[in-house]
Amino acid sequence: MYLPDALDTPSVVSVSELSHYLKSLLEMDDNLQNIWVQGEVSNCKTYPSGHCYFTLKEGEAQLLCVFFKHSRVRSSAPGLRDGMAIAINGRISYYERDGKLQCYVESVKLLGEGALFQQFEQLKARLAAEGLFDPERKRPLPQQPAVIGIVTSPQAAALQDMLRVLRMRYPLVQVIFSPALVQGAEAPASIATALDLLNEHGEAEVIIVGRGGGSIEELWAFNEEVVARAIARSRIPVISGVGHETDFTIADFVADHRASTPTAAATIAVPNIEDWRVEVQEKQLLLTALMRERIDDLQGQLEYAMQDLRRASPLNLIDQRRQQIDDTVERLQTRMQHMVSLHGERLRGVVERLHALSPLLTIARGYAVVRHDAEQVVVTSIQQVQVGDRLTIQVQDGYIPVEVCQ
Amino acid sequence: METLSFEEAFMQLEAAVTALQDGKMPLERALQYYQEGMKLAQHCNMLLQQAELSVQQLSTAADGSLSVQQME
């Protein structure tokens, strides 16, 4: 035994010395170094290291337990969960740093379900049979609630967590807080009343009921029938946000939506204002694009109309007419020339024929034309002349005046 | 327009977009929708920027009547 002298005398010892003494006291007791203890698992946490910490409860007493990973693996221990009734085998020692007496567990035996767990299962089965958990009962959450009801404790960090999320995500919303006790004997009735009040007030479009994480006992109010009934009769959709990642509470089953924490509940209750900003911006871009498109469209139409107009212009017609005139004039000229040359040809023919018939040619060959001067006719017969008539004989190069003498 | 809530303004903004998408109206009307839509979008943005969470506490009076009070 260490320090017996020091403890026998009224002298002062340090905390370390006392802790060390307590630790050795416990460790020297063979009964405590290999002992079986039974109780109900509570506040069970397994860390990423693989070490498991829990409290073993029974009646009004509790014992802190540490179940290291190597012991769990070596003993092939089952996964522990709050509410399980178990017997543990291990050694009792004193953890000097925290000033705690605790049991270092070596192995575990299951003793069936714990009392709390049994109570939970019974209520769950009864409410399920009543249809309170039916999927058809689940109501959709409003997309953009203007008013949100919150049921939780005014002191809890959970309230501030939720308000922080709402402020950040969707400050457009109005919060109506209905305070309730969330722990202890009066908690179930208090939560139920707070829910009923929000329904009576009637403005909230969705209600979050929840509290931050804790041991299964601390969260037990959310496993009580009176809370389940209040959620079930709420006319306003209810989101449960009880800070217990792994296990479901009865409230979770009855609620229209279950979130793992109050923060998660606030997150699903409202849209993100950032999404709205983006959406408003998209609408703005769309408006501008549509307007642009519309104007381009009209511009195109105008372009077409102008082309049509140009095609239909009287200037075009004038040009056409002008060309028609040119064409006609040309045709006229061609025709004229044609006719002129045609007539020329003909004339030449006639002249030639005329020429051939000309008496001058006959005269040139030695014939003569005799004209009666007085009668002014060509003499072709002796009957036409009498003695003394004056005649003119035309020869090739002139006229010979003569007188008929016999 | 100043009195419109965000939801109302956003709904009208969507309506303006839908109307423009139809593309049947005369140009002048289209321009009106466009300008209206842009104003609505600005109003929405302004509301988003100015929004501040309002928190009220619900309580019952002695006579059982309900009352809400602004919380800080």
SS3 of chain A? CCCHHHHHCCCCCCHHHHHHHHHHHHHCCHHHHCEEEEEEEEEEEECCCCCEEEEEEECCEEEEEEECHHHHHHCCCCCCCCCEEEEEEEEEEEECCCCEEEEEEEEEEEEEECHHHHHHHHHHHHHHHHCCCCHHHCCCCCCCCCEEEEEECCCCHHHHHHHHHHHHHCCCCEEEEEECCCCCCCHHHHHHHHHHHHHHHCCCCEEEEEECCCCCCCCHHHHCHHHHHHHHHCCCCEEEEECCCCCCCHHHHHCCEEECCHHHHHHHHCCCHHHHHHHHHHHHHHHHHHHHHHHHHHHHHHHHHHHHHHHCCHHHHHHHHHHHHHHHHHHHHHHHHHHHHHHHHHHHHHHHHHHHHCHHHHHHCCCCEEEECCCCEECCCHHHCCCCCEEEEEECCEEEEEECCC
Tell me the ipTM for this assembly. Answer: 0.73
Predicted local distance difference test score (pLDDT) of residue A270:
93
Predicted local distance difference test score (pLDDT) of residue A1:
46
Contact check, Cβ <8 Å, B44/A172: no
**Helix orientation angle between A115-130 and A225-233, rounded to the nearest 10 degrees:** 30
Which residues in A have their CB inside 8 Å of a CB on B? 144, 146, 149, 154, 163, 166-167, 171-179, 197-198, 200-201, 273, 276-277, 279-281, 283-284, 286-288, 290-291, 293-295, 297-298
Taking the CA of residue B66 and the nearest CA in chain A, the distance in Å comes to 7
- Give the pLDDT confidence of B18-71 residue by residue, as tens digits: 888 886 788 888 888 888 988 988 888 888 878 788 888 988 887 878 888 888
- Residues of chain B positioned with their CB less than 8 A from the CB of A287: 16-17, 20, 34, 37-38, 41
Q: pTM of the entire structure?
A: 0.53
Which has the closest alpha carbon to B14: A283, A221, A17? A283
Taking the CA of residue B1 and the nearest CA in chain A, the distance in Å comes to 16
Of B7, B31, B48, the CB nearest to A273: B48
- Residues of chain A positioned with their CB less than 8 A from the CB of B15: none
Contact check, Cβ <8 Å, B58/A277: no
Of A179, A280, A297, the CB nearest to B45: A280
In order along its 406 residues, chain A shows pLDDT tens digits of 455 555 556 678 899 999 999 999 999 998 899 999 989 999 999 888 889 999 999 888 999 999 999 998 888 777 788 888 888 999 999 999 999 999 999 998 877 656 677 778 889 999 999 999 999 999 999 988 999 999 999 988 899 999 999 998 998 899 999 999 998 889 999 999 999 999 999 999 999 999 988 877 788 899 999 999 999 999 999 999 998 656 688 999 999 999 989 999 999 999 888 888 888 889 889 988 888 888 888 889 889 988 888 887 778 778 888 888 999 999 999 999 999 999 989 888 888 888 777 777 777 788 888 888 888 888 888 888 888 889 999 888 888 999 888 7
Q: A-B interface: how many C-beta pairs under 8 angstroms?
A: 99
Which residue of A285, A290, A297 to mutate against B (max B Cβ within 10 Å)? A290
